[in-house]
Chain A
Amino acid sequence: MVSIKAVYDYIYACIKKNLPEPSFQQIALQALEFNASEGFVFSKLTNVHYEIWKNEDAVEKDLFKLMASVELTILAADILDDLQDKDNNTAPWMEWNYSIALNLVPLLLNLSKIAILDTSLPIDKKVMLVNHLLEYEILGLRGQYLDITKKNLLSEEEYLHIVEKKSGALIALACLLGASNASNEEQNSIKQYALSVGCVAQLENDLLGIEEQQSYKDILQRDVTLPTIYLLSHNNQAFLPLKDYYDYKIDEITLISYLKRNKELLKKSGVFEYSKYIQYKYVQKALLNIDKLPIIEENRIKLKNSLLKR
């Protein structure tokens, strides 16, 4: 396995080389530090896929560059998402001037391509990998657009399609950059399970967003997620204040007070069980696609553990 330090060092050097302006370089490195502190989890998937599909021509020394490319893309996506959603106060870019933070996003996306071009892989392989990057960046950005423009009347199916694009695209990218030696059919299965895993992850986040410990974050922002769609379509009259809040008929203080007086309301709605059931369906879908792959059992278990096991 490639060390996280090798990935970090490469991105660090890449920023130093391409951003000579000290102040710009400083904020880019600050962003890198923050991303690294979260463990570079996406590129670990790249590593696992690379190990499973490597062949005799594989260039081991290029792997950390592929992993760096993934992490640069993830960092750009994180910054963009936080700037648009304004819901992550712990990230350093939320304290920067908005325009400067925004300027870093396309720059990081370009560095992610440079990292691939910097490998010693054959030119056709580089073209294929850059194509993967472009395809899933575009898919992710389309998902992001749909996410920020979604309306309250969204159906559950429409919401899950958005999640597949927004969250699944980045996981698909991380997997496919590692599995460049996989056949087209295998890559299609990889894409399918990656999109499912993205949904499992997003639904986990969605559940956190309605919990009291997170100050009912998604509800108060009138966000549309799988749990809020469930709650807003609930027949019980007890959910009327929630609907009224989404319709701007009552204010935030009134709703918080209502939720605090009725602490069991969400717990007794079935929303947690229902969301976990939908997660379960996506897990089953992912497992089905993993089981389709013509790989040895040891690698299949490795894949399942890296993608789905807690």
Chain B
Amino acid sequence: MKEIFAFLVENPEIVELVKKGTASLVGVSSEDAKAIIELFTGDNNIKLYGYWK
């Protein structure tokens, strides 16, 4: 999974292709792929943070 992140951050055009559905992330579920793309594109509505320190 780390390799996927390292790859996507260096190849942002792939993020766009996955978002459009013309490419996919091998070995990643569609739900996780959606979350990953949202993290890269910054348009995620996932509530990631707690209050806790």
Contacts and interface: CB of A to CB of B under 8 A. Distances in A.
Do A and B come from the same complex? yes
Interface of A: 41-42, 167, 171, 197-198, 200-201, 204-205, 230, 233-236, 268-271, 273-274, 276-277, 279-280, 283, 307-310
Interface string B1-21: 111011011100000000000
A277 B6 CA distance: 13
B50 A269 contact: no
A269 B7 CA distance: 9
Given A41-B52, A200-B49, A310-B49, A276 B2 contact: no
A309 B50 CA distance: 6
A200 B48 CA distance: 7
B52 A277 contact: no
Q: Is the interface of B mostly helix, strand, loop or mixed?
A: helix
Contacts of B6: 234-236, 269-270
Contact of B50 (A204, A236, A268): A204
A233 B1 CA distance: 12
Contacts, number: 73
B46 interface: yes
Interface in B1-43: 1-3, 5-6, 8-10, 32, 35-36, 39-40
Nearest to A205: B53
Nearest to A236: B6
Contact of B9 (A198, A204, A269): A269
A198 B47 CA distance: 15
A279 B35 CA distance: 11
Nearest to B7: A270
B53 A283 contact: no
Closest 10 CB pairs of A and B: A201-B52, A270-B5, A270-B9, A274-B5, A201-B50, A200-B50, A279-B48, A273-B39, A270-B6, A310-B49
Contacts of A269: 6, 9
Nearest to B15: A273
Contacts of B35: 277, 280
Contacts of A235: 3, 6
B52 A197 contact: yes
